[in-house]
Structure 1
Amino acid sequence: MKMFDVVVIGGGPSGATAANDLARAGCDVAFLDRAGRIKPCGGAIPPRLIEDFSIPDSQLVAHIQTARMVSPTGRSVDIPIENGFVGMVDREHFDEFLRARAVSNGASRVTGTYLRIEREAAATHVIYRDKATGAEMRLTTRLVIGADGARSVVAKTEVPGGDRIPYVIAYHEILKAPPKSASYDPIRCDVIYDGRISPDFYGWVFPHGDQVSVGMGTGLEGVDLKHATADLRAASGLSDCETIRREGAPIPLRPMDRWDNGRDLVLAGDAAGVVAPSSGEGIYYAMAGGRAAATAAQATLATGRASKLRLARKMFMKEHGTVFKVLRSMQDAYYQSDERRERFVSLCHDVDVQKLTFEAYMNKKLVNARPLAHLKIGVKNVRHLLGWVAPEHV
């Protein structure tokens, strides 16, 4: 039976990126993908993703120039995206582009459903159910990358802590986009901070060219996601738009403390919990996690040392850990009540907040070149949280 260097379980952005990087490095790699599933997602990707992962402009269905933040009382602030744009992708086509690219660079694509891992002294076997025949099949490999998404079966069964990741449930509806109007702009993303839509997260209206994603997320039980989304559609003037499809899925909001099993397996993407707090952004971090897992796998293959699998988490958290901590603090501080959300939107009127927020988003790191602006933002943040500034003050 053929022995692969690495088998990647999952063909989303994280798994496809890991497979592509490994194939380009000369590894014999296969990736297992279920096929037919479209991940619920707003679809926003920053310029750094486009540059780091060589995404062609043909994959972008919209170029967003403005972000609108909407408060519980309906006040809004439009934040221009200076010196660039936010790209929007359709996950149905974007994910397939990434998978096809991996195959074009030498990765083997296998279609089926992951079942379990079996081990012998000299090999690891990934057992899956073949989609075409329904039969149990196996892929024999030296290493495994688990990139099977949120609520990862691989993480739960193979890595300590994989069954204890907190989640937000995201739900959205893809609609046929209406013409530009007072309430809808095809180059503007709307983010709605309103407890009537989401009591602990936010709602969104994200243009996708001739389509638009409208949805919300919550980590609380008992919230009617479909009803909340219907209310959001009504408030945004989108009730009469044709509904193309409806999708829902969990989104993890805390990176796992450990990503490998110390032997032959490492996690990547949603399976490792690497979705950004506060924003719920996942595509860039999934692909960055896939690249980190591929790098760790190459180091393990080259040295024969399973300890090198730890490099994936170490590399990722060194690059993005501080940003995740800041975003977690922001979510804990501002998402707990409508009064706090109102203050958060007021804070977004501040030019320093706008500039540094989008510089950090576009480049995926905190900007250190403007320490005075950071200090000013810190002071303003404390004043808003303590109630020293009226929410309506801008």
Structure 2
Amino acid sequence: MYDVVVVGGGPAGATAAMDLAKAGRRVVMIDRAGRIKPCGGAIPPRLIRDFDIPDDQLIAKVDTARMISPTGRKVDIPIENGFVGMVDRKDFDPYLRDRAELAGAERRTGTFTGIERDADGTHVLYRDKSTGTTERLTTRLVIGADGARSRVAADSVPGGDTIPYVIAYHEIIAAPPKNEVYDPMRCDVVYDGRISPDFYGWVFPHGSSCSVGMGTGVDGVDLKQATADLRAASGLTDCETLRREGAPIPLKPLDRWDNGSDVVLAGDAAGVVAPSSGEGIYYAMFGGRVAAIAAAACLSTGKASDLALARRMFMKDHKMVFRVLGSMQNAYYRSDARRERFVSLCHDEDVQRLTFEAYMNKELVRARPMAHLKIGLKNIAHLTGLVRETFV
């Protein structure tokens, strides 16, 4: 009898498994080996601090973000008094799983196939990768951290089978030396409908390699061609392609993260990817942590209602950030004309300061009241077209 079976060994699942094992709970983590999620790999200082990420996991430290508009307008935003760390998920995720195991979590390699319930308890079924046989684990609770198309969520949580998502695709390439268009200390974010009609493209340095990709929820977009176009525009066509990866990315948090009985969700399975930015690693790990807290509370009290703590704790810290970012995406990602205005708005120093302080610290920061008023007025002016732009 396990206390918790964690389904999924990405940042959310590995964090939940580690925290529960450290708390003395008997926990087992099931993960499919070899899967690498497409991801730009940016992690902010708060993640590094809160989750004790060692410096040797950072393959690059970025000090500038460049916003690029549909007409080629470029706005460079310096990251003052710090940096954004970059990780490669092919190395970072195994590190997190190894750390959970060192903390005392058991590991199984296989594919989740279902949950059965009877008088003896809850049983998680999975197909063992090495033997091909179906194995059965008896547990008191299940944490579903198995991604945007979570089978745990679909099987057990109301609404878990209807989560909206975009498809992300990227190519990891051998990075060139610094040149006129590529800088290993700069992340490029490309807002251009020719690359993505409803999201954005990215060029994120990974030290000796680089992640080049895009995301979209629009059917019929050729992701590989869009990425090829982005590579061409970024002067990266001739760089060696090391690997290609694609996966769904959720668009909004689910209304419920638990089934009121024995299952709670975490990470992409719960839909916790930030709107507008698409950032997911920090929110996945925080989601794994609060899922572990909720599970531990349920195990201690015997109250299944404690599983709802996970969503309440997450939203207490991040609901407003998600709401603001969602409004930004809805307002500015509709057309190239609006994307142009969004990049123009990023020229404003107050916007830059608030945006990056919020990103680095994962909370909406308070600025001077007049700065907020100025940002609000500029936002209205850009959305209504009062600010004149030149389009080509």
| Candidates 48, 57, 62, aligned match of 2:46 | 48
Q: Is the 8 A contact 1:259 1:268 kept in 2?
A: yes
Separation in 2 of the partners of 1:69 and 1:312? 34
Look up the equivalent residue of 1:354 and give its one-letter code.
Q
Moved more, 364-373 or 184-193: 364-373
Determine the structure 2 residue equivalent to 1:250.
Answer: 248
Determine the structure 2 residue equivalent to 1:235.
Answer: 233
Determine the structure 1 residue equivalent to 2:314.
Answer: 316
| Candidates 371, 374, 383, aligned match of 1:373 | 371
Separation in 2 of the partners of 1:193 and 1:279? 11
Determine the structure 2 residue equivalent to 1:39.
Answer: 37
**Cα deviation code 1:295-327 (max 9, x no counterpart):** 000000000000000000000011001000000
| Candidates 174, 179, 182, aligned match of 2:180 | 182
Separation in 2 of the partners of 1:352 and 1:338? 24
Separation in 2 of the partners of 1:17 and 1:379? 41
Look up the equivalent residue of 2:357 and give its one-letter code.
E
Separation in 2 of the partners of 1:198 and 1:152? 25
**Shift of residue 391, structure 1, vs aligned partner:** 2.7
SS at match of 1:314: helix
Moved over 4 A (4+): none
Segments of structure 2 that go 5 or more residues without pairing to the other structure are none
Determine the structure 1 residue equivalent to 2:99.
Answer: 101
CA RMSD of aligned residues (A): 0.9
Q: Is the 8 A contact 1:346 1:392 kept in 2?
A: no
Separation in 2 of the partners of 1:121 and 1:261? 18
| Candidates 3, 6, 17, aligned match of 2:4 | 6
Determine the structure 2 residue equivalent to 1:298.
Answer: 296
Look up the equivalent residue of 1:387 and give its one-letter code.
G
Separation in 2 of the partners of 1:272 and 1:100? 23
Determine the structure 2 residue equivalent to 1:69.
Answer: 67
Separation in 2 of the partners of 1:372 and 1:322? 21
| Candidates 346, 353, 356, aligned match of 2:344 | 346
Separation in 2 of the partners of 1:346 and 1:211? 30
Separation in 2 of the partners of 1:370 and 1:296? 37
Q: Is the 8 A contact 2:173 2:209 kept in 1?
A: yes
**Shift of residue 58, structure 1, vs aligned partner:** 0.3
| Candidates 147, 150, 161, aligned match of 2:148 | 150
Separation in 2 of the partners of 1:362 and 1:239? 32
Separation in 2 of the partners of 1:164 and 1:136? 27
**Shift of residue 24, structure 1, vs aligned partner:** 0.6
Separation in 2 of the partners of 1:326 and 1:164? 23
The 5 A counterparts of 1:320-331 are 320-331=318-329
**Shift of residue 176, structure 1, vs aligned partner:** 0.2
Separation in 1 of the partners of 2:66 and 2:375? 20
Separation in 1 of the partners of 2:177 and 2:377? 42
Look up the equivalent residue of 2:372 and give its one-letter code.
H
Determine the structure 2 residue equivalent to 1:287.
Answer: 285
| Candidates 113, 116, 127, aligned match of 1:115 | 113
Separation in 1 of the partners of 2:374 and 2:263? 45
Determine the structure 1 residue equivalent to 2:136.
Answer: 138
**Shift of residue 369, structure 1, vs aligned partner:** 4.4
Q: Is the 8 A contact 2:354 2:367 kept in 1?
A: no
Separation in 2 of the partners of 1:61 and 1:374? 36
Determine the structure 1 residue equivalent to 2:335.
Answer: 337
Determine the structure 2 residue equivalent to 1:25.
Answer: 23
**Shift of residue 392, structure 1, vs aligned partner:** 4.9
Look up the equivalent residue of 1:230 and give its one-letter code.
A
SS at match of 2:92: helix
Look up the equivalent residue of 2:43 and give its one-letter code.
I
Look up the equivalent residue of 2:360 and give its one-letter code.
M
**Shift of residue 381, structure 1, vs aligned partner:** 0.4
**Shift of residue 205, structure 1, vs aligned partner:** 0.2
**Structure-2-length-normalised TM-score:** 0.99
Separation in 2 of the partners of 1:225 and 1:165? 21
**Structure-1-length-normalised TM-score:** 0.98
Determine the structure 1 residue equivalent to 2:271.
Answer: 273
Determine the structure 2 residue equivalent to 1:203.
Answer: 201
Separation in 2 of the partners of 1:374 and 1:288? 28
Separation in 2 of the partners of 1:300 and 1:283? 26
| Candidates 72, 76, 84, aligned match of 1:86 | 84
